[in-house]
Amino acid sequence: MTDTKKPNRQQGDVSVHLQPEQVRAALCAEVAAGLSASPKELSPKWLYDDLGCELFDQITQLDEYYPTRAERSILDSHATEIQRLSAANTLIELGSGTSEKTRLLLTAFRDAQCLNRFVAFDVAEETLRDAVAKIQADYPEAEVTGIVGDFTQDLSVLPTAGTRMVAFLGGTIGNFHAPQRQSFLASLAQILKPGDSLLLGTDLIKDRSRLIAAYDDSAGVTAAFNKNLLSVLNTELHAEFDLDSFTHVALFNEADSCIEMRLRSTCDQQVVIRDLNLKVDFAAGEDLLSEISTKFTLQQVEEEFSVAGFRTLHCWTDPEQDFALWLALR
């Protein structure tokens, strides 16, 4: 890790705590381990290069993909109440992306004259810089900064001043396996002060056909998003994945209550990853797990908050009970 006291600053409003060589080292280590394992698995964070961010933004606008609309409807109805209950003056967003939904919160904070600072935290530097510039232009009364980092390991670089609300939206918490999820929530609780809060978006368990459709849309955008993982490996590690030899699969894992996105080999094949001097064999029908998305019950989230050291302050859902937005105090 870079020295968090002396980050490499560019353009004055974005601090970079995750250097390209660190990203590459992490990618190399995970690919070597994940593609040598059985079953094969990689972290969904590698889906989100700049193209991946663009494709995901398209996904959020699809008819089948309800989570973004549901979460936005909750924010639209309750942003003012969220601001009031949190009593925060500093808003931090993890995995911020374009921060489009977050503008509802920013406006509520501004209208209450409580928007001192907004911090956008993301791994995709180009997307982050663009979002920070646009938000600073639209909310000039606030100090708007960006942090390029990995929120699974760089939480210590978050600013400590003010009363903070950390927003972790979009159901991204569901991308963690249960042990990783508890570790992350506990780490977040440790860096927050008493009185700070967490605003967490969680997708709720529902009809399986709706869940699967949200991750396997008729237009094929999610399939392109998933296959982009292979393009990332081809570009970054000089791998030789033939994207046409893999197909996108979405299924529901009942035991773990999660959607699994997989890349399934359509034939027996061997893929060379030149930068790792690695040859990876895939059997016909063999899967590479590229993402999970856990679907929760309300009771489960409350229990996980309690274990991590948070106290649930309020939970809001959309009228269809598709999605839940939680405000929890440290």
3-class secondary structure per residue, the chain: CCCCCCCEEECCCEEECCCHHHHHHHHHHHHHHHCCCCCEECCHHHHCCHHHHHHHHHHCCCCCCHHHHHHHHHHHHHHHHHHHHHCCCEEEEECCCCCCCHHHHHHHHHHCCCCCEEEEEECCHHHHHHHHHHHHHHCCCCEEEEEECCCCCCHHHCCCCCCEEEEECCCHHHHCCHHHHHHHHHHHHHHCCCCCEEEEEEEECCCHHHHHHHCCCCCCHHHHHHHHHHHHHHHHHCECCCHHHEEEEEEEECCCCEEEEEEEECCCEEEEEHHHCEEEEECCCCEEEEEEEECECHHHHHHHHHHHCCEEEEEEECCCCCEEEEEEEC
User: Pick the residue with more confidence: 281 or 6?
Assistant: 281
Average pLDDT, the chain: 93
pLDDT at 50: 80
Place 2 in a pLDDT band, splitting at 50, 70 and 90.
very low
Residue 86 has pLDDT above 80, yes or no: yes
Q: What is the pLDDT of residues 177-208, one digit of tens each?
A: 999 999 999 999 999 999 999 999 999 999 99
The two beta strands, 117-122 and 246-253, are unpaired
pLDDT at 211: 97
Place 7 in a pLDDT band, splitting at 50, 70 and 90.
very low
Q: What is the pLDDT of residues 124-150, one digit of tens each?
A: 888 899 999 999 999 999 999 999 999
pLDDT at 207: 96
Residue 10 has pLDDT above 60, yes or no: no
Residue 3 has pLDDT above 80, yes or no: no
Residue 280 has pLDDT above 80, yes or no: yes
Residue 46 has pLDDT above 80, yes or no: yes
pLDDT at 98: 84
Residue 1 has pLDDT above 50, yes or no: no
Q: Mean pLDDT throughout 154-174?
A: 95
CATH code for the structural domain at 66-204+296-329: 3.40.50.150
Q: What is the pLDDT of residues 218-239, one digit of tens each?
A: 999 999 999 999 999 999 999 9
Using CA atoms in the order 7, 9, 14, 17, what is the torsion angle rounded to 10 degrees?
-30
Residue 286 has pLDDT above 80, yes or no: yes
Least confident of 13-17, 109-113, 181-185, 193-197: 13-17
Residue 20 has pLDDT above 90, yes or no: no
pLDDT at 302: 96
Distance, CA of 7 to CA of 59 (rounded, Å):
33
**Percent of the chain topping pLDDT 90:** 86
Using CA atoms in the order 264, 205, 176, 214, what is the torsion angle rounded to 10 degrees?
40
Q: State the span(s) of the chain assigned CATH 3.40.50.150.
A: 66-204+296-329
